[in-house]
Structures are given as C-alpha cells and as structure tokens.
Structure 1
Amino acid sequence: MLRHLLVFLFFLTSGVLVAEPLYPPLSVAASQRLRRQLWHTPASQRRVDLLLRLSEDLTANYMGLGTSLDSASSYGQEATQLSQALGYVRGQIRSQYALGNVALCLNQVPDGARLLAQGLARSRQLRDARLEADGWYYSVATYTSSAADIVRRIACLQRALALYQALGDEARTAFILKAIADQHLTQGQLGLAQQELLRVLPRYRRLGRSHYAYDLLNVVNDKAGNYREALRYGLAALESAQATGDTTFINLFYGRVAYLYLALNQPADAAHYCRLALARAQRAHDPSDVFGIAHTLATALISLKQPRQALALALTQTRVQPASGDGQISRWSLLATCYLANREYAAAERCELQLLSILEARKTEASISTRSRAYCFLGQVYLLTRRYAAARYYLSKATALRRHTSIAGQAATERLFFQLDSAQGYYLAGIAHLQRYQTLHDSLFNDHKSKQIASLLVQYDTRKKEQDVALLTKQSLVQQAHLRQRESQRNALLGGMALLALLLGLGYNRYRLKQRSTRLLEAKQAEIFAQNESLANLLLEKNGLLEEKEWMLKEIHHRVKNNLQIIGSLLRSQSVYLQDKVARAAVRESRNRVHSMALIHQKLYQSQHLAGVPMDAYIQEIVEHLLASFDCSPAIQTELAVAPVELDVALAVPVGLILNEAITNSLKYAFPATHAGHLFIGFDAPAPDHYRLTIRDDGVGFGRDFEPARCRTLGLNLIQGLSKQLGGHLQVQDVGGVVINLEFSQLDVVARG
C-alpha cells in the first residue's frame, strides 16, 4: 500500500507537464525547410520572421516537451539586431517576446518579465491587437502559482481573450478559454473548470484539436476522484489525437490512461498502455520520457506480482538508454522502486542516495517535492532494515519540506513515523503520528473509506498491543519459574504488582484517549452547529434579496411603461397641432412604435414571472391597437395564430417593432379606401429556442417594379435592421399580397451578444 502511494507521488512530481502551444508547433520537416530557407534569405523583414518563427517553435517545444532550446536565444538576438537595423517595429516587439520566453525557460524570471512587459507596452502603443493579445498571454508565465498570482494570471488571460475575440480568431479564443479553465483547476475550483471545459469542447472539436480539452477534463475528474469519468476522457483524448494525426503529446495521454487504470486496480490494462508509450519514446530517443514511462510500467508489473520482471525492465532500459539531466532523476528513481519491490534494500538505498545527491545539488524550487519523496523513500528503506536512527533522520527531513509536499506525501511520512515509533517503543509519539496520518488520509478519501481504514488500523493496533501484553506475561512466567526455587513468595508478589501496574497504565492510557476523542467530537459538533446557523441566516438573507430584486424589476418595468406612455401622450398632443397629413401620419406611426414597446413593459410588470413576455396576449393587443388607430376594423378581417410562447424582453422588443411596421404598412398600403381584406399574423416555435413570425395580407401587393432589397422606406429599413439584430432570416414576397416571414433563434442572439 505504502509503496504504491510513493509511486503515485513520483508520477505527480516527475511526469512531463504538458502545455499546448499558443501557435501550432512545426513538424520536423517544416522546421528543416525553414532552416534551409534561412540560409538563402538576405537581411530583410522576411528573414526576421523566419528567425522568430524558429525561435518561438524551439521555445514552445522546450516548455511543452522538455526538448533542447538549441538556437532559440541566438535566433532571437539576431532577429532583434536585424529588426532594429531595418526599423521593423513588429519584428522588434516579437523579438522581445521571443527573448523574454527564452529567459523564462532558463529560470531568469526578472529578465523575462522585463522583456515581455516592454514588448507588451510597445504593442499597445502600436495599436496592434494581435501582438498585444500574444503579450498578455506570454505574461502569464511571469507569475507564480500562488493564490494571488493565479488571480493575476486569469486577468492577463481575460485581456488576451477579449482581443482575440475582437480579431475573430476562433483558434486562439478557444485556446485562451481552455487556459482560463486550467487556471481555475490550479485554484482547486474543479466544478467551474469542468463547466468551462465542457463549453469550450465544441470549439476544439471544430478545430480538430479536441484531445487537448479531453486531456484537461481527464485531469479535472482525476483530481475530483471521478476515476471512471477521467478514464473516459483520457481514452477520448487518445482517440482524437490518433484520428487527427496530432501525436505530439500522445505519450502523455498514454501515461494518464495507464495511471488511471492503476488507480482503478487494473494493472494489466495499465501495462498495455505503458508498453505502447514506451515503444514511441524509444523511437524518439527521449531518455526522460523513456524512464518516466518505464517507471509507470514497473509499478503495474509490481501490482501484478511480477517484481522480477519490473527489475529486469529497469536494468534493460538503464543499459540501453543513456541518461542526463532530468533523465538521471527518472533513471535512479525507477531502479530504486524496483529494487525495493524485490527486497534488495542495499541496492534500493544506493540508487536513492544517487538520486538525492543530484536533487540536493540542484536545490531548485521545482525539485523540492521530489527531494521530499526521496527522503520519505530512504526513511522507508531504513525502517525495513531496522536502522531506526537513519530512518528518523530522513523522515524528519521529509517533514521539514511538508509545505512543498502533497497531502498524500505527508500522509505517507506520518505513517512511516508511526511504524518507526511503534518499532522503537515510543507508543505515545506513535499514536500522535497515527492521528495525523488519519487526519490527512481523511482529506484524500470519502468518509466511508476513511472509517473502514481507521477501523482496520485500530484493530491492527489493538491486536499488536494484545500480542505484546501476552508476550510480556509469558516472559514474566518464565522468569518466575526460574526464581521460584529461591524466593517464590517474593517473586510472586513482585510479578503480581508488575502485572497490576501494567493493566492500570493501559487502562489510564485508554481513559485519556477516550477523553481526548470526546473533546474533539464535542468541538466538531459545536462547529457544525455554528456553521448550520450561519448557513440558515445566509439563506434567509438570500431569499430577502431575491424578493427585493423582483420588486425592483417590476418597479423598473412599471416606470419604463409610464415613461413610454408619457412619450406617446406627448406625440398624440403634438399631432393635434400638425396640419401636414404626412407629418401627422409619421407622428402616429412613432406613437404606435412607442406603444408596442410600452406594452412589453406593461406585460412584464403585470406578470408573475419576469423571465419573458407572453407573446399571444402581446401580439393580440398590438393588432387591436393598430386596427383602432387606423380605424379599419370592420373592413379588414384579422386572423391570429399565435402559440403560447414567452420571449425574453431583448427578443420581444424587436419582434414587436417588426410587427408594428409590417401591420402598419399593410393597413396603409395594402387595402385602398374601398377595399376590404384579410390580414394573417402567425407566431410559433417550430423547435426549442427557434421562432417563426409570419405576416400575410391579400392586398394589392408591391407592384411589378418594386424590389424589397432596394427599398429605402423607413418601415422596411426598420424591419430589415431589426431582423439583422435578431440574427434572423427575413423573406419578403409578393404572392397575391405581401408575405413577410422571419425566422430567428435565441441561441444566435446570445452568441451575437
């Protein structure tokens, strides 16, 4: 159990951290082609662009795959000098970005942050939205993973997002949305990160890169403990990467799937995916990747009760694969794990000490968690070989780094301390470590599993103490038998006193433990009660705020309706003083438009639900008002076919104005003074969130020479403009009268907003 926990820690700390590049990476062939072009390209803006593209690609591959930086710095420096000589401002800004990212790769954070900030400031002066958006994204890497800096990271990403959206760059927009979800994942907001990733997933599918979104969904569900859901997304990432041919990070996807199969106790499946990844890593000659995958494969073999095969694999890879840098760390860790599984403690100790010497020589922040795991590993080895002083020394060093260690690592250290103290007879200290271990363990698993484990630990502890008492009793009896020949009565009395003292000590110890547990339980119950009261108060306050919000919304709609009615009354009063019939008709039409908008707010004010406008009652009132306004009710027969649909006010206002204009045009022009007619108005929802509006009359029509697309009348211009605002499809036809059809979708309006 402990060995598997340590392997899990290794997976988290030594695995490759992948980052999808902002711009797609170059293939090997494309990179070589650009290098050949560079040889034949003279000093020009074209040469600057080639230099920067090669530098950016090398840097992105280093950040994502851990490959060599190669000539990234020299390319960036040459691009800087050449762009300054040419006065090529965009090249100068991109050069600052390229050199800033190289500095970040070399852990020169102040220099990198300064170069990126300078490039960002110049891009804003140049008003180049794309360069500014790139600068905001690159600035994210200048911040740490602290809580305050993650907020700053998200702010930078949101500014980049706004610029990419304004540019209409769908690929970069999807990338930044996923990056924001990744930051929320780092914050621990797993639910929010999953919602954001599910929203961005359709965008990645359209771009043919859905495996990156699937992979992040895999990580989110893994951290949430939803292993089966995580496995589903991990397999989907593999399938998408293979289908699109984008296998840049496929070894990472294989590794995640293998780890999940291990978590689900299916080591045979884990071994299968490890072997696929290992074959690819060996072809790519990547020692760090080879040893990392081999470590996961060895863990699966150990779980399958095949430790000898795991060790053979490790020895084979060590002989075949040269290692340097991070590859050395993976190599020694792999060997140490396999030797420990085979109970070759001396070899395991030697390998782990080699690993520790490399980590301590580096002393970087990134290696602290791996050092903590190495200390814990050595503590376990020395505990198993009964070198208790050395075990305590290394476990103490691991405890000193607990701030940089995961909860699982802390729990493993506490359990080893418990075993060490028990072995040395420090029972009170051991109990304290056991309690801390259980507390940490409870934060990793659900309550049911925690209770089961705690029960097993207590049973184990009780049996061990009973066995110890029985052993001490037997030893006492043996001693009494030897001493009975000389001083039988005295020895019997001393033995009884010793036994009584032992029983009293155990009883007192149990009594103190029970008292402490009772106090802790009472404190916890008091805390839960206080939290329940706080939640109840918050719920009451929330309900009050909701009622106040609903009242205020109704009051707003009421006031808007009153204001619009005042405007209508002013227009009516103005029309009395107008002599010109055209002006009077224009004022009347404006009054009708105002009336149609006022009706919406009246409906919302009178309705019990503020979510939408009831279109059946609303359309009927508009029609009745217009017929009364034009005084043509007897001559013109109206037919309404309106479904009981509720529309949001943002959709109902333009729909009402379109109705007002269309019906007004029909009443004004379709039916001459002596001509009776029929007017049909229909509104329905043929599909969810999809709506259709139809206005049809059997009047005189437009005439042969009339073309709606070229018409410049106010009414038709308003209808066309409002239709575009709705994102709808408008058709105006003359077929035995005028027919106006408008179809629109609420989803299109939300997307345009």
Structure 2
Amino acid sequence: MSFILKNIICCLFLFQFFIGNAQTTDKIKEIYTSKKGIDKIRFYESLTHRQKIDNREFFYQNLPKLKSDEQINTHINSSMRLKFVLADVYFIKEDYLKSIVVLKEIQNNKDYKLSDSKRMSVLVRLQKAYLNLNLFSNVFKINSEISLLRKKGVDYDLWTYSIKSSLYARLHLYDKAILQLKSEINEILKNPKRDSLIVPSAYNSLGYYYSMNNQIDSAYHYYNLSLQKAETGLKKNDWESFNALYGLVKGNIGVLKMKQGDYKSAVPLLMEDISIGIKIKDNNSNDGIVKTIVYLTTCNIKLKNYTEAKKNIELAEQLMSKGISDETRVFYYRTKAELLKVQNKKDEAHIYYEKAFNLSDSINSKTQRLLLAGNEILYQLEEKDHLIEKQQSDINAKEKVTLYIIATALGIILVTTLLYLSNSRKKQKEIQHKNDEISAKNETIKESLAEKEMLLKEIHHRVKNNLQIISGLMELQNLNISDENAKIILKEGQSRIQSIALIHKTLYQSENFSKVPFQNYLSELIQAIQTAYNNNQKISIDVEANEIELGINTAIPLSLILNEIITNCFRHAFKNRESGNITINLTKENDIYRLIVKDNGIGLPADFDPKKLQSIGFDLILGLTRQLEGNCEWKNDNGANIIITFKDIA
C-alpha cells in the first residue's frame, strides 16, 4: 500500500473519530450543565476514566466552582465527595500540586471520620501524585502507611500494584525494577479481583524494563507473553483495551527491532501501532502517535528511504499541535535534524539540533522548578499538620490532667492492695514499650538507608547527565568550526568529559557508591574511544583489572590518564597499519597499584621525553600521576610501553 493511500485512510479514521468523539463530548457537557449541586458530582463519578480524560479541560474549569455551593458545604459527606472529585480532576489534568493540597485537606479534616477504605483511597492518590513529582522520599513514607492498612485487610486499587517498580525505573535502576515488578505480578496473579487488562499490561511493562536493561531476548519473551495473555483473556472481554494494548506492544517490539539495527523489520510493526493509535486516538493528545511516527522516520532514514522519511516527518508535523510532551518534541527536533543532515541541509539541521538542545535544557530547568515548588507546598502542608497535631496535643494534655486527678484519688484508695501488681505491670509495660521503640527505630533506619541509596544513585545519574550536556554543547560548537586543529581540541575535551561521566555512570549502576569497579569501567571507556576513533583499523584491546575497585578521588584522575594514553594509541601507534593490539593491566601489591599500557605499534621515538614536549595530553598524564603520589615510566618493547605506579587517594 502506498504512503499516500495510507494517509488517506488515516485521514478518514481521524474524521470519523473527531465527529463521533465531538458528539460524545458535547453530550457530556450538556448533561453536566443541566444538573445542580451534588448531582453534578454524582454525574462526574458515574463517568468512565476515558470520558473523564476526554473532558478534563471542561471539568478542570467547572468543577471547582462547586466549592461555593452552600448546600454541598453544609453536608460533611457532600463536602468530602467534592474534594475527592477535585483531587481526581486535578490529577487527570496533571496539576499534581493542587491534587496533593486537596488530598491533605481530606486527610487532616477530623470531621470527615475517614474509614480505612477511604484512608486507603487518599494514600493511593497521594502516592501517585508524589511519584509524578519525583518526590521519592514522600512515596516511601506513603508506601509504609499503605502496607499497614493492607495488613489489616483493607482493599486497595489493584492498578497501583506497580508503584515500587515504577519508582526504580524512574531512577534507571532497571535490575531492581525487574525483580520488583515480577514480585508485584505474582501478587496480582493471586488476587481474584484483578481485571483482564492488568496482567498483559504488566508483562508489557516487564518487557520494556528488560529492553531498557539491554536484555533483548527477555524483552521479546515478555512482549510476546503480553500479547498471548491479551489474546486469551482480554480480547473477548474488552476489545477496545485489547486493541490499544496490542498496538502498544507491537510498537514496543518495533522499537526493540530498531535497537538491534533491524530497521526493515521494525517498519511494519510501527505502522501497525500508528494505524491502531489513530483508530482509538486520545482527543486531547497526539503524543503517542507522533512518537511512533518519529520512530518510523528514523527507520526510513537508516534504510535511506529519504522520500518516505520526509513524508513521515510531515505527517508528524500535522499532528504536533495537540497534547505533545516536551520529551516527544525534543525527539522530533533531533530526528528532523538527522533527516536534514542526510539531505545536506546542514544549516537547517543545525537549527533543529539547537532547538532540541534548548528544549532539553528547558525540561531539566522545569523539572527543578517543579521540585522546588512541590517542596515549598509540602513544607506549608507539613506546617499545617504540625499545627493540627499541637492543637490535638493540647486537648490531650487537658484530658490527661483530669484523668490524672481521678487516677490519683483512686490510687490512694487502692495503693496498699495493688502496689506490687502495679509495679510489676509498669516494668513489663516499660520493657515492652522500649522493645517496640527499638523495633520501630530499626525499621526507620532500614527505610532511611534504602531511601538514601536511591537518592545517592540519582545524584550520580544527574552528574553524568550534566556532563553529557556539556559534551553536547561542545558537539554543537564543533559543527560551526571549520578549523581542523580546533575540532581536534574540542573532540579531545569531549573525550575527557565522557571519561569522567562514565565514572559516575559506573557508580550509580553498582551496589557500592564509594568504589568504582574498574574492569566494568574500562570496558565502557574502551568502547566509547573505539566508537570515537573508528578508522577501519582492526585494533583489539585486552583488559585485566583483577576486580580492582578504587575510590572516586583516585578513579577520576586515573580515568583521565587512561583516556589520554588509549586515545594516543589509537591516533599514533598504528599509523599505516591495518591492525594492532593494546593490552591494559591494572594490579595491586600491598598499597601500591601498577598500571601498564602496552601496544605493538611503531613505538616511541628514540629521544622521546614527554617533559620536553609541548603536549597537553602528556602534561595531563604527568600532572595527574603526581596528584596520585605516583611515578610514570615509558620505554619501547616491541611497541610503546607506559608504566604508572600510584596510590589510592582517600
């Protein structure tokens, strides 16, 4: 089928969808407007989640007006129902801070006398809102409260089953996300109240986590398992949800094919996802469809189908006006730039690369602002909580005084007969109370350590991201420079920055934040250098680091030293040769470490002395070696041989 014919079919689907959806939306607005007071709340509660999403802007503007309705405000139950509805509307509109404020009002209002099931509902909604604001410490706190209610047998929303695994995934800890999600799926499978969508949806998420963790075979397995579960359980019960999930999984498999470089196989899968997405399209957002179309554009660029790629990007541009996330817009800009680049439109490509970079930087700034605003509001809410607690404490104190007077009078009468028993019980209670305090403190310490581990990983991840942004700036600068010497200097700077970024990446992917496993680090560093200096030579590299781990104060200088030596090998050691070999050996004897880097190339000049060279690279090597309280030697031994001894600096 030609691309033009596909576009005609897509337009027909869009036309039919918009007509049908507009009628449904107008009808909902008409019914809501015709009702009054509490009936408006009842009508909203009766809508499906899909209908609420399709009309979120309307409800976001109109439902808050009910706060001034006297009839609702004078009835406790009606007032509470309105607040639950408002929290839901704000959440669907992605105004998570407002949603949190309303939920905290429900939580703190003693007149509402929340049942355990209502309290569970408030906690689950708070949990989702905190997660979307990346306030992870608050998510941990809510998790503990939900666990206590679940132990009491309180029902909870099954669709919140994946909060913990989602939290790990947001921190890019996909190994932990996979283990956690498998545990969550086992719990869901035991629950007879689950619906037919939840299990295939969970297996799709598990496939995605394996994909992000580069475990391709496992990703295929769980994507296919998701389709199988959907075919056997979901298709006959809920065709619309089946169709949506089917398209999503097909698109995910298409992206997996792209990851393997099999762009030809990815094309029909992505087109199938696009076709299904258009049929069931969200009236408020084209984000998912646009993202898939941009993936399709990438495939056609890689397959050198530039005409088709141009048509793809134009179709994406037609849909960009409605509900597109900033992340998808960055993806579109970069892909558009790639297409212009292969069409030799370098100036236009540069404009889109710059747009992508600026918007990506804006996203980071927006996230930081949102976190600051969230923390400020949470501080205000906590202040209110403290005030309420103080008022309650004052009431309790007065009650305690009254009870104390009564108890004293009774105690005087009974003291002679109950003294021994009273003392015995008091000691038992004190022992039990202390045991309870110790257990509670141990649990708090355990949760605090887990939370700090998460946050420390996030810090290393953000440092790595910031270094990559700097590298990206240098790459943009490189595009505008014609002087080859300047290009080489910028490329060397990028390489040095990447070597430090890899240290932070290795740290947040490891279990021990104080030590860098150098065997893993060297493998990634070498791969990055091979990619940067690929000149069609067959150069093999053998690494032996003997499971050595170094502190970050030693790892960063040593990473820069290694980057300079290996880069020099690639650039100079194998001139006019088709192949070569580099060996890297890192050993430890007592407190002294020895690094040997040897190649079988042309070797060093006979009068070679780096101290007399005007070379930033060798100045850097010698300076950093001194920083490590070490010594640097060099010699020819069937090629260059550099030996560095150093200490692990605390």
With the shorter chain as reference, the TM-score category is 0.5 to 0.7
CA contact (8 A) 1:411 1:441 kept: no
Q: Distance in 2 between matches of 1:103 and 1:41?
A: 23
Correspondence for 2:293: 294
SS of 1:202 mapped into structure 2: helix
Q: Which amino acid aligns with 2:170?
A: T
Is the aligned partner of 1:512 residue 2:619? yes
CA gap of 1:225–1:415, structure 2 versus 1, over 3 A, is farther
Contact 1:278/1:294 (<8 A) preserved: yes
Quick one: which of 126, 138, 161 aligns to 1:139?
126
Counterpart-to-counterpart distance in 1, 2:165 and 2:209? 10
* Aligned pair partner of 2:492 in 431, 436, 439: 431
- CA distance, structure 1, for counterparts of residue 336 and residue 471 of structure 2: 24
Contact 2:165/2:177 (CA < 8 Å) preserved in 1?
Answer: yes
Summarize the Cα distance change of 1:145–1:40 in structure 2 as closer, same or farther, 3 Å threshold: closer
The 3 A distance-change label for structure 1 pair 518 and 281 is same
2:564 matched to which residue of 1? none
Shift of 1:29: 13
Pair 1:418–1:431, CA change in 2 (3 A): farther
Distance change >3 Å, CA 288–CA 46, structure 1 → 2: same
1:175 aligns with 2:282: no
User: How far did residue 408 of structure 1 move?
Assistant: 6.0
Aligned-pair CA distance for 1:358: 8.0
Superposition deviation, residue 293 in structure 1: 0.9
- Show the 5 A alignment for 1:92-241: 92-103=79-90, 110-122=97-109, 125-143=112-130, 149-163=135-149, 166-167=152-153, 169=155, 172=157, 174-205=158-189, 207=194, 208=196, 209-241=198-230
Superposition pairs of residues 262-281 of structure 1, within 5 angstroms: 262-281=258-277
Is the Cα contact below 8 Å between 1:418 and 1:434 reproduced in 2? no
TM-score, length of structure 1 as denominator length:
0.47
Q: 1:458 to 1:34 in 2, by over 3 A?
A: closer
For the Cα contact (< 8 Å) 1:52–1:79, is it kept in 2?
Answer: no
Contact 2:464-2:501 at 8 Å conserved across structures: no
Structure 1 residue 42, shift from structure 2 partner = 6.2
Say whether the 8 Å CA contact 2:478–2:487 is kept in structure 1. no
Deviation at 1:116, TM superposition (A): 1.5
Name the aligned partner's letter for residue 323 of structure 1. S
Q: Any idea what SS the aligned residue of 1:265 has? A: coil
2:525 maps to 1:450: yes
**Residues 237/407 of structure 1: CA separation in 2 closer, same or farther (3 Å cut):** farther
TM-score scaled by structure 2?
0.53
Distance 1:424 1:514, change over 3 A: closer
Separation (CA, whole Å) in 1 of partners of 2:359 and 2:532: 37
Paired residue secondary structure (1:127): coil
- Is the contact between residue 45 and residue 85 of structure 2 (CA under 8 Å) also seen in structure 1? yes
Hey, what's the Cα distance between the residues in 2 that align with 1:45 and 1:527? 74
State the 1:57 CA deviation. Answer: 5.5
Is this contact kept in 1: 2:227–2:249, CA < 8 A? yes
Amino acid at match of 1:259: V
Matched length? 435
- CA–CA distance in structure 1, aligned partners of residues 345 and 615 of structure 2: 43
Structure 1 counterpart SS, 2:344? coil
Partner SS for 2:161: helix
Secondary structure of residue in 2 paired with 1:71: helix
Q: Which moved more, 1:47-56 or 1:135-144?
A: 47-56
1:679-718 to structure 2, matched below 5 A, reads none
Structure 2 vs 1, CA of residues 256 and 115 (structure 1 numbering), >3 Å: closer, same or farther?
same
Distance 1:337 1:144 in 2: 34
Using the alignment, how far apart are the partners of 1:275 and 1:108 within structure 2?
Answer: 33
Q: Helix, strand or coil: the match of 1:326?
A: coil
Letter in 1 for 2:142: C
How many Å separate the matches in 1 of 2:323 and 2:161? 34
Equivalent AA in structure 1 for residue 619 of structure 2: R
Query: Shift in Å at residue 426 of structure 1?
Result: 6.8
Q: 2:268 is matched by which residue type in structure 1?
A: H
What is the alpha-carbon distance in structure 2 between the residues aligned to residue 368 and residue 202 of structure 1? 38
Q: Structure 1 residue 90: deviation in Å?
A: 3.7
Q: Secondary structure at the match of 2:214?
A: coil
Equivalent residue for 2:514? Answer: none
Aligned pairs for 1:630-709 (under 5 A) are none
Q: Secondary structure at the match of 2:124?
A: helix
Superposition map of 1:519-530 within 5 A: none
Identity of aligned residues (%): 10
Structure 1's 409 and 257: CA in aligned 2 closer, same or farther, altered over 3 A?
farther
Partners in 2 of 1:406 and 1:250 — Cα distance? Answer: 37
SS of residue paired to 1:297? helix
Q: CA deviation at 1:49?
A: 2.3
1:326 corresponds, among 304, 324, 327, to: 324
C-alpha change, 1:327 and 1:429, in structure 2 (3 Å) is: closer
Q: 1:161 to 1:239 in 2, by over 3 A?
A: farther
Change in CA separation of 1:34 and 1:404 when aligned onto 2, cut-off 3 Å:
farther
The residue aligned with 1:259 is: 255
Q: Residue 56 and residue 96 in structure 1: after superposition, are their counterparts in 2 closer, same or farther (change >3 A)?
A: farther
Contact 1:52 1:94 in 2 (8 A): no
Distance 1:405 1:191, change over 3 A: closer
What letter is aligned with 2:310? L
String of CA shifts for 1:326-351, please: whole Å, max 9, x gaps.
27936655533322233322333455
Q: State the Cα distance separating 1:135 from its structure 2 match.
A: 1.0
Q: How far, CA to CA, are the matches of 2:32 and 2:527 in structure 1?
A: 68
Specify which structure has the bigger relative contact order, considering alpha-carbon pairs within 8 angstroms and separated by 6 or more residues.
2
